[in-house]
Amino acid sequence: MLSLLDLSRRIDAGDLTPAAAIDRTREAIAAREPEVGAFVRVDPAPAVATAGPLAGIAVGIKDIIDTADMPTEMGSPIHAGWRPRADAPVVARLRALGAVPLAKTTTTPFAFMDPTATRNPHHPGHTPGGSSAGSAAAVAAGMLPLALGTQTGGSVIRPASFCGVVGIKPSFRLLPTVGVKCFSWALDTVGLFAAGVADAARALALLADRPGLDLPPTGPGTIRIGLVRQDFCAAPSAAAQQALTRAAMAAERAGASVHDLALPGLFGDAFAVHPTIQGFEARQALAWEYAHHREALPPALRAALDEAQGIETQAYDGARRTAHHARRSLKDVFGDGGVDVILTYSSAGAAPAGLASTGDSRFNRLWTLMGVPCVTVPAGTDDGLPLGVQVIARFGDDGRALAAARLIEQALA
C-alpha cells in the first residue's frame, strides 16, 4: 500500500517531487484498476501544488462528494454527468493543504446498499463492502495513499475492514458534510481511508485543523480498554471473534489493561431505532429522486424508501429521544466502566463471497448513531481475506481513539 507519511517524508527530503509522487500514483492505478474497478473517473490533467503539508498526495473522493473539476454522479444514472460549481468544503480543504483530489471513487447508489461493480483487491470474487467501496478498495490495492468516504450505518469501518486498511469515522461533524449528498443528516459522517493509523491520524489532524489529533501511541499502562461483544445482535463469525481476542491479547502484551464490558440495555434499544431515524430522514433527503425517478432507483433503495413512507413522525421523534438518552449514558459507560476506549468488532466477519451484497453493518450502526470516533485496524485474515477490529472513544476524543488504535496496530505487528 502507499503510505501518506512515507510519500511526504520523501518529498520533504527532496527524493521525490510532488509531481513525481502523483505520477507514481497514476502508474499504480494503471496497473491495478482494471481488476479492481475502484474509480468512476480519474482526472487526466490535475493541478499539482508544489507546497503544503499534503503536497504530492493523491486523494480519492467518494462520488457523493462535490468536486468542481469532475462530475458528481451519486452512483446513479439519475445524476449522470452532473457538474457542481464548487468543491465541497472538505475537498477545498484538501486542495488548500496541497493535496490532489485525483479521482472520484465508486459509491453504491446514493450510498445505500445496492452494490457497485468494485471488487475486493484481496479476492476479486468478494465484495469490498459499501457504500464507500471504491475508496476502501483503491487504498487497499495501493492505488491511493488517502481516500474520503462517508458513513451513515457502516460505510467506512466495514469496507476498511473487508479490504484490510485503516478507516476512521470521526466524531459527528468534525469534518463538514456540506456539499455531500445527504442520506441522513443526523447520521452522515465524512471519514478517511489510509494505509496505517499514523497516516490516517496525520490526514485527519490536517483536515480538521486540530494538530492534537495526531498523537503518539498510548504508552504502556496508560490505556484502559473495555471489550464489547454487542450481545444484543447476532453473533459474528468465529474468525471475527478470534481476531478480537487476538487484538485484546496483543494490547495486553503492550501494557494496556483489558476487561469485558457489557453495555446496558438502553444501547440495544438505540441500536434498534437506527433504521427509523435513517429511513425517516432518507425519504426526505431523496424526496426529489423518489418523486420523479422512482423506477430508476436500484431495488434495495427503492424498497427501503417505499417502506420509509410509512414511518410516522411520532416514531421518529421517539427514536431520536432514545438515541439522545443513549448518547448521554455512553459518558457513564466510559466513566463508570473505567475505560478509555472500547474495542469491538469492525464487521460480522470477512468480506462475503460475490458482489450481490456489501455485507452487514450490525457492528457499526450503534456507534454511528452515538456520533463517536471509530477506527478500524487490520487484525488478521480468514482464508486470505482481511479482518478488522474497531476502537471507539468518547465523543470528541478522536485523538485517543487513534492513539489506542495505533497501539493495537503496533502490538499486532
CA dist 126 and 154 (Å) reads 18
- Identify the burial level of 51 via C-beta atoms within 10 angstroms of its C-beta, where 0-12 means exposed, 13-18 middle and 19 or more buried: exposed
Note whether 159 and 130 are within 8 A (CB): yes
Note whether 126 and 120 are within 8 A (CB): yes
Catalytic residue, from 8, 76, 131, 161: name it.
131
Identify the CA nearest to 222 among candidates 404, 408, 410, 413: 404
Q: Is 131 a catalytic residue?
A: yes
CA dist 68 and 173 (Å) reads 22
Catalytic residue, from 62, 104, 169, 181: name it.
62
Q: Is the peptide bond before 357 cis (omega within 30 degrees of 0)?
A: no
Catalytic residue, from 155, 171, 184, 347: name it.
155
Q: Is the peptide bond before 131 cis (omega within 30 degrees of 0)?
A: yes
Q: Is 257 a catalytic residue?
A: no
Identify the CA nearest to 46 among candidates 97, 99, 106: 99
- Chain centroid, CA 139 distance in Å: 12
- Chain centroid, CA 22 distance in Å: 24
CA dist 400 and 406 (Å) reads 10
- Chain centroid, CA 337 distance in Å: 27
Note whether 397 and 215 are within 8 A (CB): no
Which residues form the catalytic set? 62, 131, 155
